[in-house]
Structure 1
Amino acid sequence: MRTPRSLLTATLLGGLVLTTAGAVPADARPLADAAADPKPPASCLKDPTPREGKTCGHSKILLITYTMDTPCKIYPNHSRKGTPWTVTGTQIIWRYNVSSKTALVSDPRGHDKGFPWWGFTDTDCIGTTVGQPARNYWRYESGKWRAHKTPAIPAGQVRPKRKFQARSQSARGWVDVDWRPAHGAIPGKLVKTTKPGTLRDKPNSLVIGNVPAGWRVRPTGQHDRGWTFVYVPNLKRWGWIMS
């Protein structure tokens, strides 16, 4: 779920660079021999003082791949806003349902396809799970990053019917989508975006829309880990964009 690194022009913003633990499932147990653990990625090793029990990577598979019953026409924004594109292959990645008829999905070609790769499609094109094997994630235990396995995704499962909920690493396994984030008054400052990016419900969280390069947004003073809370006039929506 990466997002372009720079979205807003710093000079237009006053020089600012907009920048549960639960029981471990049986199939998420440590690998047999800690000494033989795969080497964790560099992102895990960047933390100079990881705390005991800290997790690096996802303890559950969050992006679930489904077959396609028919080609999926995807729109960059809800409802049917923007120029659509069609996925004509055999698979689509589901994230959450907006309604019984609409879901947020990701084009399996990802960044190779080019912006946008997230969008909204009719759910009737989505089939059943393709099946995904367990993956590694890491937990810091007894002074070392130790590899664990996520639960695998069986093939042939139907898409969940729950609305505005996406798979998460939490103990209950789901997180609510903040479809319309709480906000204050619309800011007066208007800033032109220089690069495209996704609109998120929280910093580095769930996609709720897309903001093409050249659109104007109204940034607030709320910043978090390189994300800025903005109002997008073209969508009449609030959300977080990578700065």
Structure 2
Amino acid sequence: MAVANQKGGVAKTTTVATLGAALTELGQRVLLVDLDPQACLTFSVGIDPEDLDTSIYQVLLGGVKARDVLVKLEDGADLLPATIELATAEVRIAQETSPEQMLRTALRPLRASYDWIIVDCPPTLGLLTVNGLSAASEVLIPLQCETLAHRGVGQLLDTIHDVQRLTNPGLHVLGVLPTLYDGRTTHARAVLETIADTYSLEVLEPSIPKSIRFAEAPAIGETVLSTAPASPGAKAYRALAGALL
């Protein structure tokens, strides 16, 4: 499953980390893939990218096998980490044959080992995101319920349709996941309805509530499931994991 939105700050990385932890709690074998050169996912689950000698960068370029780069996380999931080196990857892999298939090729030997492989795509519509979409069977779109946040959804869907047409006809859009959601405001509810109507996308439930708890958890390398297990946010991600299963 690719988690994608070219707009930053929509809780994309939080969704990957927390949903992965929730699926692991349910007994699923989970691999998290950090495809973002900022390495936010790697950092947020307690791994310092500066301490890593190898990452997904070397895997994409074909010098290292993905299995040899995996990091075991405390919650039981595995991580294919990123480092800042990934920032130069698009230029390098663009010179390869079928550059949009590099991630799919790298992950192929691991597919039988996991129930879920969840890819945190970077906040762009570049070659790395196309790699994430080309490798996935499903794509989930986290979306902050504000007017400016949903302006780029059409561009993202155009990219998804191009991927479906050219490299991955089996890619399925799961839907939009409302994040940073405040159901008390008329504006948030109106934006949600606009998204569903304008783009004919399913709105996944439950919505993920806005909470300071999500900002606190990555600072100690954990998810809200362990730092605030009874919080509304933790309950929402657990419910989402159950619904996906």
TM-score, normalisation: structure 2: 0.27
TM-score, normalisation: structure 1: 0.27
Q: Is the helix fraction higher in 1 or 2?
A: 2
Q: Pick the structure with greater CA Rg.
A: 1
